[in-house]
Structures are given as C-alpha cells and as structure tokens.
Amino acid sequence: MNKKTFYSVLVATIVSPAAFCASILDRANYDEAKVPKYELPDVLSAPGCVAAASSAVEWTERVRPRVLESFENDIYGKLPPRCASTKFEILEQGEAFGGKALRRQIRITVSDAKGSRSFDMLLFSPMGAKGKTPVFLGLNFMGNHSTCFDKNVMLAPTCDRKTGEVKQPSEADRGTQAKRWPYEAALARGYAVATIYYCQIYPDYPLPESAQKSIYGIFSPDKIADRGGAIAAWTWGISRAIDCLETLPDIDAKRIAVLGHSRLGKTSLYAGATDGRVALLVSNNSGCMGSALSRRKFGETLELMLFQFPHWLDSKIAKYSGKEEDMPIDQHQLMALIAPRPLYITSASEDLWADPRGELMALVEASKVYALFGARALPSMENFEIEKPFMGDVGYHLRRGKHDILEYDWKNFLDFADIHFFGPGKR
C-alpha cells in the first residue's frame, strides 16, 4: 500500500469502516482500455532460465521445477511436509439418495509434534458400480451438511469468515449449498463425489490465531518455517484426502478429479500443480491468484486481495502489491504445471471481479505447454463465447450469469471427465 492509500485508509476507517472498505474495492478496473501494457513471462521458460524449452522433456526437467519453486517461494508458500501420522476412520456409512448411492463419512486425523487436527470427508459413490469408480473431490464453503439435504450427514460447526466465531449448525443449515453439489447427476453418470469443509483444514478468517487453529498448528515451528498461507494449507488438505481415497478399494485412484470454486478454485489449481495424483483438474471462477492473469489488473488485483484476505497467500507476496509486472511469474504458468493432465477452466459472464477474459487468456497461454506434450485440441480467444464449451485436451466455458458453481458447470465437468476418463464414444 502506498502512502496516499495508507492515509485514506486511516481517515476512512475512523469515519466509516464499511464505507471505506467499499471505496477501496470500488477501485477495481473494469475497463479494457485501462488495462496496462504488460509483457507476460514466457510459459515455455522459467525465472532464471536462459532458453525456452522446445520439448516436453526439456520443459519437465528444466523449466517445471523452477516455475513450481517460484509459486512456492513467491506466491502461495510451501505446503507443510507430510505429518508423522494420518488416520482414516469411517464414522458412518449407509444408503443415500433412495438407494442410488453409498454414503461414507470418513474422519481424517493428522498428527505431528504439536498436536492433531481432524477433518471429515463426505463421500457418495454409486451403489453397485461395476469396477472402480472415478471420483470428483472438492472442498466446500459451508460444511458438508450444507451440500445436501441428507439428514444422516453430520452437522458440523462452521466458522465466521470475518471473526472466526464458531457457529453451531441447525437442521435449517442443511442443503443451503445443495445447488452447488448436484450429487445425483454425478452419481447417475458413474462418478463418486467427495467433499470436505475447508475451514476444518484452515479456518478462513484474517486473524493470526486462524493459522494456529489450522493444520499448521500441529507442526513444530522449525518444520514449517517457510510455510504458506491458507491456500497452501487447503491444498495440503486435498492431498491428505487423496491419501484416504487411495485406500478405498472401490475408488479408482487413477481417476481422481479435483475441483474447486472461487478461492477453492485457486486452491484446486495449486493442488493440481503440487500433487501428481490429481488426474484431472477443474478450476471454476477462480479469478485473481487463480486462473486470471495478474498483470492485466482487471477486476480484483493483488492489492485488493491482500486488503481483504491477507491470510491466503505467502507473506512475501506483499512486495508485489500494485507491482504485478515485477512478479517473476504469472498465473498461466500455474496452469502449465498441470500439463499434460486434462485441465478445465471456467468463467462466468457477469463475474468481472474474476476477470473472465484474463482467465481464458491464461489458459490459451498455458496451452503452449500442452502443445509440447503433443496436445492439438487447444482453445483460442475465439472460445470466449457464452455457453459454447470448448472440450479439447484442455477445456473452457463461459457460463452466462454470476459468480457461482451450478448444474450447468457440473454438466460440462462431467462431459469433460467422460472424454478423458472413458474416451470418446465409450459411454
């Protein structure tokens, strides 16, 4: 934050904190003509690399490790190490959706020198499936019980996103996010779906104690000296959920798709980049520090993000606030880290805060790395068309409407997964 901003913050906070907050966020640019001239770092190269890669092997051996290192050191921070012990315990299981699914609620307990934390995975899988089932795994915003109306799903306390205050849920909280989790549609197409309440991994509020309450709190400080923020913690949680899915004989550990919306779409991208077991990746409306190019400064910017959510990223990133052009990398390079695995990015037409155009631009750039791996069905800016999904080696759609994740989005994720998990025409 520069001096002028700092003083306006001070004055406005004293006069009216809410009005001030709105006025800062109102500074977002929504005018293409005001996007500054910028030069993107070459996706075939890496910070400190002398020459661009000209083959997949070169890119994988020489470029990829450096790009990943830069995301770890400069943007999200390093994931915590594996912990001393991870325990999986089936707390409950039974029939769901009128016998169409098996419901499992599995407690994942992670422990290390300073203690333990537990998070609960809700898993629905198609009843009587032949062979191993592919699975979509994603974190949720409001508790597992909010994702459906099934009364057997345990009610879990939720956490206020500003104060961290813990709220005891009631029956009325069931299903409040059900439209974001069309389980029956996925089950009918042969997919299992697994979800975890993200605040059980890192309670999402910007006060210092949230980190201590999170999974970071189980490690002795020297073990996580260069730890990242909340996004790195959620990403680590996804990897522990994959550890658990790998132990289930009916789940196909080779066909694990990870998905996430918004802040959890930023998280899913980082999970795809850091965990090779992710076989297909979906990032929905993930915007700033997710799919959108930072250098465009359209909609939310790093400065605006740090103002509202200072706990999400690595603390070292603050030096780039307002100076995105100095960042060693940009978000197209995060997507490239997922290559050659299938990657699906979405935008929504009215979600200007997330910079829809910048999201597709990043994917088009990242596609150059997919091309090194032999991919030929790749998107261009011509795919920036409302509700005309592009489904190639990577995929994209621009849904009509607001920031959200809806049945339309899921239908496309399932179509995309069908192509890559089963092959065209095999279903």
Which active-site residues does the annotation give? 262, 403
Size, binding site for ligand GCU by CB under 6 A:
8
305 binds ligand GCU (CB under 6 A): yes
Q: Which positions from 1 through 30 interact with ligand GCU, judged by CB under 6 A?
A: none
Minimum CB separation of residue 131 from ligand GCU in Å reads 36
Minimum CB separation of residue 128 from ligand GCU in Å reads 37
Residue 101 forms beta bridges with which residues? 96, 126
> Rounded distance, CA 185 to CA 168, Å?
30
80 binds ligand GCU (CB under 6 A): no
Residue 95 forms beta bridges with which residues? 102
Nearer to ligand GCU, 101 or 348 (CB): 348
300 binds ligand GCU (CB under 6 A): yes
Span of 46-54, 184-192, 237-245, 300-308 interacting with ligand GCU by CB under 6 A: 300-308
3-state secondary structure of 307: helix
288 binds ligand GCU (CB under 6 A): yes
Among 126, 143, 287, 358, binds ligand GCU (CB under 6 A): 287
CA separation (Å) from 280 to 16, 132, 344, 348, 362?
A: 46, 16, 8, 21, 18
Residues 6+ apart with CB under 8 A from 202: 210, 211, 214, 215, 216, 230, 233, 234, 237
263 binds ligand GCU (CB under 6 A): yes
Minimum CB separation of residue 290 from ligand GCU in Å reads 7
> Rounded distance, CA 106 to CA 125, Å?
13
3-state secondary structure of 8: helix
Residues 6+ apart with CB under 8 A from 199: 158, 159
Minimum CB separation of residue 162 from ligand GCU in Å reads 13
Nearer to ligand GCU, 83 or 334 (CB): 334
Q: Tokens representing 145?
A: 């019980």
> Rounded distance, CA 287 to CA 298, Å?
10
Nearer to ligand GCU, 354 or 372 (CB): 354
> Rounded distance, CA 332 to CA 367, Å?
9
Nearer to ligand GCU, 126 or 229 (CB): 229
351 binds ligand GCU (CB under 6 A): no
Nearer to ligand GCU, 123 or 159 (CB): 159
The backbone torsions φ and ψ at residue 93, rounded to the nearest 5 degrees and listed phi first, read -150, 155
Length of the chain: 427
Of 149, 147, 138, 140, residue with least CA distance to 193: 138
Nearer to ligand GCU, 255 or 263 (CB): 263
> Rounded distance, CA 279 to CA 274, Å?
12
Among 105, 200, 262, 383, binds ligand GCU (CB under 6 A): 262
395 binds ligand GCU (CB under 6 A): no
The backbone torsions φ and ψ at residue 359, rounded to the nearest 5 degrees and listed phi first, read -70, -45
268 binds ligand GCU (CB under 6 A): no
Minimum CB separation of residue 159 from ligand GCU in Å reads 15
> Rounded distance, CA 230 to CA 214, Å?
8
The backbone torsions φ and ψ at residue 390, rounded to the nearest 5 degrees and listed phi first, read -105, 125
Minimum CB separation of residue 209 from ligand GCU in Å reads 21
297 binds ligand GCU (CB under 6 A): no
Nearer to ligand GCU, 148 or 302 (CB): 302
CA separation (Å) from 207 to 230, 309, 346?
A: 12, 10, 31
> Rounded distance, CA 78 to CA 89, Å?
28
Calculate the dihedral angle through the C-alpha atoms of 334, 338, 342, 346, rounding to the nearest 10 degrees: -20
Nearer to ligand GCU, 63 or 405 (CB): 405
> Rounded distance, CA 141 to CA 42, Å?
35
368 binds ligand GCU (CB under 6 A): no
Return residues touching ligand GCU (CB under 6 A).
Answer: 262-263, 287-288, 300, 305, 308, 353
